[in-house]
Amino acid sequence: MIVEKSLFPNQTALSPEPVVRLENSFQNPYDNFVATARTCYSSKVITSQDVAKDEKAQERRDAIAESIYKAGHHTTLQHATFQFVLEKVSRQFIWSFLHSHPYYNSEQVSQRYVEVKPDRFLIPPLDEDAKEIYLATIQLQMQAYHELMKLVAPTLQNEFKRIFPVRKLEEKRWQSSLKKKEQEVARYVLPVATHAHLYHTVSAITLLRYHRLCEQWDTPLETKIVVQKMMEEVLKVDPQFSKVMEDPLPLEGTPEYEVFTQFHQNQNRLGDSDFIREFDERLEGRRSKLIDYKRFGEEALAQSVRTVLGVTRGKLSDTDAIACVMDPAKNQLFGEALNLGSLNKLTRTLVHPHFTFQKKLSHTADSQDQRHRMTPGSRPILAGHFLPGKPDYVLPIVIEKTPQALEYFQKIMEKVWVAIEKLMDKGVSEEFALYLLPNAFPIRFEESGDLLSFHHKWTSRLCYNAQEEIWASCKDELLQAREICPRIGEWMGPPCFLRNRASTKPICPEGDRFCGIAVWRLPLEKYKRII
């Protein structure tokens, strides 16, 4: 049902209150929405001014808007875009909602490169006893963050000296580089309640979808507050949009609600240890396991290359056809910084092979993995994966190789789990209690995509400057893809590998950020790194 609205009532129950500001927007977005629709059936371009020039035109505009909205003809709503500045929003909300779909653009403060301040976290509505437990645990995690930076510093310095023996660690630029590495590792202990600020840009149709589905796991209260503030900002510049807004679906009306509560109602909607064990056993020690793929992926790719070129199999074999598109020496688009594959006729043939992986990444690593929006995943309801009494986390390799840091980290995790359970024992909902989960908490999920999308992802994330965990998962994936598609896999690697093959200079595009290792000379099986 299409409903008319004015501004929303204030429902803020979070501290500090999330900040939402409309930074940039389309001019006359509602009028433009209808103008683009009318242009499809007109001998001339219809303008925003045309559809609002008088009362009769406005009546026709509103009738068309309602009609095409109800019919689902929504491409016209993709033209108008809105750029928001969001501040004081949690990492949990960003992971669970803002970045869980393909149709957005974000530029977000990095925990890898910016030190987290001790007062930057969300506080949900809690009574005084629960709030005391919550704040004490946050303080513990923030203190642990700084302590871990100190504990892992010697390991990072030793590895840095091994890779760069002639660099002087006392130089400011190398001190800065090491500090960022310390932050990258230590952030695993931080709670997902930690704040972030970002630019977030969406189209009008995406914003309307946000509003319709803002009440869903894992952060229904925070999501509803932020989305309502976004809609309020848009209605300030164009109140007409209230005419095509639908009421939010209640959490109980979402497809997963009834099934999830059916299976988890006797466990306070918490996790199942049998599921966790079954999932992890299936991974067989990998971070990412290939569980499905197109059986004739190489053959389909080769034939599509021949089709594009109009060449018979007798003139271009499968192996040569695959090399024609995959070998950077032949397809030098792979040596360029721009990702041009989807715009090029030959390179678009990579959409035909397809892969599905079962994965286990930390919350912080998956927050980067999900930014590869063309390899989408089905992320879980986190309450269904939390096991009381069983701290569950993914460790960065630097902590694993630093015994004192490892022991300290494990003790902090035990205390965090105790705190979360205390909150739940006091009747705090899993929505609020799980804001204390650390960045290290595992996200178990499945992810699929075509070769074109995975090629871009594997290229960018196999760079030794990529975050270590997502780098390792991409290595897992490419090794397995090469086993079943060797004629495809042999031509893939990090940017330096492709640029070297394409004779693009410099081989490493990172400049001062060069990792110090001639990775382009190494076989994939020999890729190994600590920092």
Instruction: Report percent pLDDT > 90 for the chain.
Output: 93
pLDDT at 6 over 50: no
Instruction: Report which DSSP code applies to 155.
Output: H
Helices and strands counted in the chain (H then E): 20, 8
* Contact residues for 35 (Cβ-Cβ < 8 A; gap 6+): 46, 47, 48, 50, 51
Q: Please measure the distance between the N-terminal and C-terminal CA atoms of the chain and give it in whole angstroms.
A: 54
- Residue 228 — very low, low, confident or very high, per pLDDT cuts 50/70/90? very high
**Residue 158 structure tokens:** 């030793």
Cα 377 to its chain centre, rounded Å, is 9
Give the pLDDT of residue 172: 87
DSSP 254-278: SHHHHHHHHHHGGGTT---HHHHHH
**DSSP annotation of 17:** P
Domain residue extents for the chain: 19-110+194-254, 128-190+380-443, 293-358+445-526
In tens, the pLDDT along 479-490 reads 999 999 999 999
- 31 cis-preceded (ω within 30 degrees of 0): no
Token look-up 């890898």 returns 112
The overall average pLDDT reported for the chain is 94
Phi, psi torsion values for 411, nearest 5 degrees: -65, -40
Is residue 443 helix, strand or coil? strand
**Averaged pLDDT, 383-393:** 95
Amino acid letter at 239? P
pLDDT higher at 5 or 167: 167
Q: Are 288 and 476 in contact (CB under 8 A)?
A: yes
pLDDT of 356-367, one tens digit each? 999 999 999 999
Q: Is the pLDDT of residue 5 over 50?
A: no
For 19-110+194-254, the fitting CATH number among 3.40.1440.60, 3.30.1360.170, 3.30.70.120, 3.40.50.1980 is 3.30.1360.170
Q: Residue 37: its pLDDT value, please?
A: 95
304-346 pLDDT, tens digit per residue, is: 999 999 999 999 999 999 999 999 999 999 999 999 999 999 9
Token digits for 445? 């999920």
Say yes or no to pLDDT of 241 above 60: yes
Residue 87 parent element (H or E): strand 81-90
Tens of pLDDT, residues 19-63: 999 999 999 999 999 999 999 999 999 999 999 999 999 999 999
DSSP 383: G
Q: Residues 395, 440: contact at Cβ < 8 Å?
A: yes
Question: CA–CA separation, 461 vs 473, rounded Å?
Answer: 9
Q: 197-221 pLDDT, tens per residue? A: 999 999 999 999 999 999 999 999 9
3 state DSSP class of 233: helix
Confidence of residue 2 (pLDDT cuts 50, 70, 90): very low
Give yes or no for residue 122 having a pLDDT over 80.
Answer: yes
Query: Which of 438, 398, 434, 433 has the alpha carbon at shortest distance from 414?
Result: 438
CA gap 426, 436 in Å, rounded = 15
Predicted confidence band at 10 (pLDDT cuts at 50, 70, 90)?
Answer: very low
Which of 468, 382, 337, 306 minimizes the C-alpha distance to 92? 382
